[in-house]
Amino acid sequence: MFILGISGLYHDSAAALLLDGEIVAAAQEERFTRRKHDPRLPVNAIGWCLDHAGVPHDGLAAVVYYDKPLSTFSRVLRSYAAVGLGGLRSINLAMSEWLRRKLWTSYEIEKALRGIGYDMPGDLLYSDHHLSHAAAAFYPSPFERAAILTIDGVGEWATSSIGRGAGRTVELIEELRFPNSLGLLYSAFTYHCGFKVNSGEYKLMGLAPFGEPRYAQAIREHLIDLSPEGSFTLNMAYFDFLAGTKMTNTRFDAVFGGRARQPESDITQRECDLARSIQVVLEEVVLRMARHAQSITGETDLVMAGGVALNCVANGRLAREGTFERIWIQPAAGDAGSSLGAALWAWHEVLGNERRTVPCDSMEGAQLGPSFSGDAIRALLDEEGRPYVRIEDDGERARRVAELLASGNVVGVFQGRMEFGPRALGNRSILADPRSSSMQRVLNEKIKQRESFRPFAPAVMAEHAGDWFELDHDSPYMLFTAQVAEQHLHAPETVAEGADVFERLHSIRSSIPAVTHVDGSARVQTVDGERSPAFHRLLGAFHEITGCPILVNTSFNVRGEPIVHTPEDAYRCFMTTDMDYLVLEDCILDRRDQPGWTGEAVELELD
């Protein structure tokens, strides 16, 4: 029995497919279209999922959408009614989008399926937005039962929810409603600091350690009335997102020291302080919500989803607080993962099928997307006249790549199935030596082509994680931060007075400076041989050579581009940056041997 789950029409569209309740495929539309955060109906992702699993053209038992459009439309209309004439700037655009596409979701999905040769199996099923998040968090988790916490911008009316999962049942107990949204509050500061909403929130999180929380009290006094349980009310006098074209307004400007930073202009200490201040407040709210979830459910384990669940700094603090014994977070925590949650909800709740847990989780290491055979890759390279060395033996190839990395080379790795979610976890990754004091700058400026302050994540062999980081639990999906262990940190170098605010990052003295953020933290990925055998083998080879079981792991893309999908995407990114080597399955390409690049460079979109 095949069940197809779909998310789309807002941002981060995706599709996921179940076969008899097992996850067999999941992918984001952006990877196929090369349009970052693509909001369109995920026709390409749907087609790939169905083709990958060999679904007969009449073989779908159910198709499930992750949201209820009519409920969302009601909320949009009421928002415009609440602001009256203030909504005239944007109502025409919003109504045009709704009347053209969003109100006809069932028809659009049926048309899309028929366009790729598949029959619609009866009526489209609709799951509530936060129920889809909750299902994506609980059903793939390793827990028999758990408290559920979902936090995002908004879905229909809910902006966060607390629930309980037990067996095959997910129950939502309490919810916070629009416009009182932690996700939108954080996005308001994302906007005010000059970053793109629904895209730049992780930049705000990375910027926060450079600042001081000097605006945190102003946030508490002017913007948010927070209860001990974590529920809150936003003071909408300071925001313009109800029905406007901006997130903040002039009252917001007056409280926080001026107008929003213009994108691409210099980042000042004010933006750093704003980022730190909202991060502190966000953590406070998340901690209160989690404690309340524990008190009303009585559960000892917690699962999380929703866009705010990607805030790994808050997750790390929540884990250290010890409110719950164990925490599991859906690796595709945003709307993309809700395609999977919608399908799982239908399998368990609508169709009444029992649930089976597995010791790690049932996400297959998030390796749920397309892969490309070595034969197909070699045929492409031969046809295009692109020199390579083939190393068939897995161990020998890992040893050779480890030697290249230990010699200071930057290596793009393309192997196995593409990851589902925003993180590259070793299959679509750019790797480097974390011991290099210059590598963070080199990767940001010459490879990723992005802001200099952005930190990089360490991928560490799971069995050695405790020796290098203050971490007492697995973090396979790069969703928790932890401090670098004290024995690997040293006193920072002195920074000259008046130096650039980000020069502090380059003053870090650490055994692994390329993955140590300015506050001594790191967004850790623990790699084990069960989930990621190839990546674990490479880390092991690097450890044997250097004594360090860690590599810099960043996604295989440049700024404004989605993570690479095809070998051709990978080669283009390789040739239009300063990467030294490219691994395509069992082929290793040396940049110096390649013919001159005559194709198009990656087209960057400011984000």
Rounded to whole angstroms, how far apart are CA atoms 6 and 24?
14
Rounded to whole angstroms, how far apart are CA atoms 314 and 284?
9
- Locate all alpha helices (DSSP H) within 305-384, ordered by sequence: 312-321, 335-345, 374-384
Q: How many residues does the chain have?
A: 607
Q: Torsions phi, psi of 53, nearest 5?
A: -85, -5
Residue 312 confidence (pLDDT)? 97
The residue annotated as part of the active site, out of 11, 129, 133, 565, is 11
Residue 243 confidence (pLDDT)? 74
Per DSSP, the three-state class of 234 is: strand
Q: Which helix (H) or strand (E) holds 79?
A: helix 69-83
Place of tokens 């909408």: 236
Residue 498 confidence (pLDDT)? 63
Active site residue 11: yes
pLDDT at 601 over 60: no
Share of the chain above pLDDT 90, in %: 85
Residue 509 confidence (pLDDT)? 77
Mean pLDDT of 22-51: 97
Q: Note the pTM of the prediction, 2 decimals.
A: 0.95
Rounded to whole angstroms, how far apart are CA atoms 138 and 169?
9
Pairing of strands 158-166, 145-155: antiparallel
Burial (CB count <10 Å: 0-12, 13-18, 19+), residue 376: middle
Which tokens belong to 11? 């941002």
Please count the helices (runs of H) and the strands (runs of E) in the chain: 19, 23
CA atoms within 13 A on the CB side of 398: 17
Mean pLDDT of 223-251: 93
**What's CA 292's distance to the chain center, in Å?**
26
pLDDT at 114 over 70: yes
Q: Which helix (H) or strand (E) holds 389?
A: strand 389-390
Residue 450 confidence (pLDDT)? 81
Residue 607 confidence (pLDDT)? 38
pLDDT at 602 over 60: no
Burial (CB count <10 Å: 0-12, 13-18, 19+), residue 236: middle
- Prior bond of 56 cis (ω within 30°): no
> Going by C-beta distance under 8 Å and a sequence separation of 6 or more, which residues neighbour residue 107?
none
Rounded to whole angstroms, how far apart are CA atoms 288 and 451?
33
**What's CA 121's distance to the chain center, in Å?**
31
Residue 1 confidence (pLDDT)? 95
Domains of the chain, first to last: 2-131+338-366 (3.30.420.40), 374-593 (3.90.870.20)
b/e for 492-530, b at 16 or more Cβ within 10 A?
Answer: eeeeeeeeebbebbbbbebbbbbbbbbbbbbbbbbbbee
CA atoms within 13 A on the CB side of 326: 14
Torsion sign, CA atoms 535, 540, 543, 544: negative
Torsion sign, CA atoms 83, 88, 90, 96: positive
Mean pLDDT of 17-44: 97
In 3D space, the residue among 449, 389, 370, 432 whose CA is nearest the CA of residue 584 turns out to be 389
Rounded to whole angstroms, how far apart are CA atoms 505 and 502?
6
pLDDT at 605 over 60: no
How does pLDDT run across 397-411, given as a tens digit for each residue? 999 999 999 999 999
Neighbours of 400 (CB within 10 A): 18
pLDDT at 220 over 90: yes
Residue 494 confidence (pLDDT)? 66
pLDDT at 455 over 70: yes
Which tokens belong to 325? 């014994």
Q: With contact defined as beta carbons under 8 Å apart, do 201 and 188 qualify?
A: no
Q: Strands, DSSP E only, in 415-479?
A: 428-432, 457-461
Residue 604 confidence (pLDDT)? 40
Range of weakest confidence among 3-12, 67-76, 330-339, 443-452: 443-452
Residue 417 confidence (pLDDT)? 98
Neighbours of 287 (CB within 10 A): 16
Q: CA-CA distances (angstroms) from residue 404 to 76, 396, 398, 545, 546?
A: 54, 13, 10, 11, 12
Q: With contact defined as beta carbons under 8 Å apart, do 12 and 354 qualify?
A: no
Share of the chain above pLDDT 70, in %: 96
pLDDT at 598 over 90: no
Q: CA-CA distances (angstroms) from residue 235 to 181, 226, 240, 257, 544?
A: 11, 11, 11, 18, 56
Confidence band, pLDDT 50/70/90 cuts, at residue 600: low
pLDDT at 288 over 70: yes
Mean pLDDT of 566-585: 97
CA atoms within 13 A on the CB side of 385: 4
CA atoms within 13 A on the CB side of 206: 20
> Going by C-beta distance under 8 Å and a sequence separation of 6 or more, which residues neighbour residue 267?
193, 194, 207, 261, 451, 453, 501, 502
Look at 503 and 594; give whichever has higher pLDDT: 594
Look at 372 and 605; give whichever has higher pLDDT: 372
Instruction: For Cα atoms 526, 562, 366, give the angle at the middle one, nearest 5 degrees.
Output: 35
Mean pLDDT of 105-111: 95
Mean pLDDT of 440-466: 90
